[in-house]
Amino acid sequence: MATICQDDTLLCSTFANLFNGATWAPIAASAITILLIVVFGFVIRNIVHRLITKVVNRAANTGSIATRWRKGGATEGIDALLHERRKQRAETMGSVLRHVATIVILGTTVLTVLDRLTIPIAPLLTSVGILGVAVGFGAQELVKDFIAGMFMLMEDQYGVGDVVDVGAAIGTVEAVTLRVTRLRDSDGRVWYVRNGTITRVGNESQGWSRAYLDVPVGYATDIAAVRDTLAKVADELWDDPEFRQTVIVERPDVFGVEQLSDSRLVFRISVKTLPAKQAEVARELRYRVKLALDSAGIAMVPNA
């Protein structure tokens, strides 16, 4: 056992001098050295974890575009959604970084201890390298999924609660991991889509959405009367606190004649809304436009 510490290190020499050259001094020196290496490894790990947590918290609490753009009303709702998305993304990335830091630091610590115990680590590293190559070839799809999931989280392509189209399925995101994305479609069916198979993403819930309504009327209808009626509906919807403060982001736009044919004119109303609220606004818009047109005596023309 006395051969464990063969090198003439400062710690070994100190113990040998302190205990008058006792034969167990090198063993004690090696044991203390190994203990210090382990303690140092865990201290470094904790420091790195604290730094990662600080960076994650700072990234999760930075000001959003909606806050800088305008305060009040529906924009505060957008700000809350963006903050929650940013928080989820930052926490997920923080968790991944903490795991990677733990593996790297503690792995290095273990290798250092083995080297200190004079256990050859070159064959071990060679074996691990060969095993890594074999696993890499056998788990290419898994690695592809993890890399794709990492970039999806970093780029904030979508988050929990978003309505997305990933090609293979369309639905509401219920969970996002580094390997798979779980969606629930309108029929209640749950889809598990591997991140590596997603080549495009259509997100209906990011930032803001738009509701629009096409209003077809007869060719001989008074254009000014239709436009004034639709503008009145848009103003009433914007002035309604139930929608302006919680759902609608900007004043609705009446674009005028969107399409022109020999049998009908098509007017369009567009409303910018909170994410995934366009269907709710469109239903209310259809209801109000129908009542307003009936009151004005303007008939709608069905599609040909």
pLDDT of residue 288: 93
Tokens of 182: 């779980």
Look at residue 250 and tell me whether its pLDDT is greater than 50: yes
pLDDT of residue 152: 83
pLDDT tens for 72-121 read: 455 555 566 666 667 767 777 787 788 888 988 988 888 888 877 777 77
Cα–Cα distance between 144 and 157 in angstroms, integer? 17
Q: What end-to-end distance do the CA atoms of the chain give, in Å?
A: 96
pLDDT tens for 122-180 read: 777 777 777 777 666 667 788 888 888 888 877 778 877 788 898 888 888 888 887 88
CB within 8 A of 185, min separation 6: which ones? 169, 170, 171, 172, 191
Strand arrangement of the beta sheet that strand 190-194 belongs to: 190-194, 180-184, 170-176, 163-165, 202-203
Backbone dihedral region for residue 89 (phi beyond 0: left; psi -120 to 50: alpha; all else: beta): alpha
Domains of the chain, each with CATH number or no CATH:
10-138 (no CATH), 156-203 (2.30.30.60), 209-296 (3.30.70.100)
Provide mean pLDDT across the span 176-198: 88
Q: Are 99 and 177 in contact (CB under 8 A)?
A: no
How buried is 75 (Cβ within 10 angstroms: 0-12 exposed, 13-18 middle, 19+ buried)? buried
Tokens of 54: 């600080």
- Return the number of other C-beta atoms located less than 10 Å from residue 213's C-beta: 19
pTM of this prediction?
Answer: 0.55
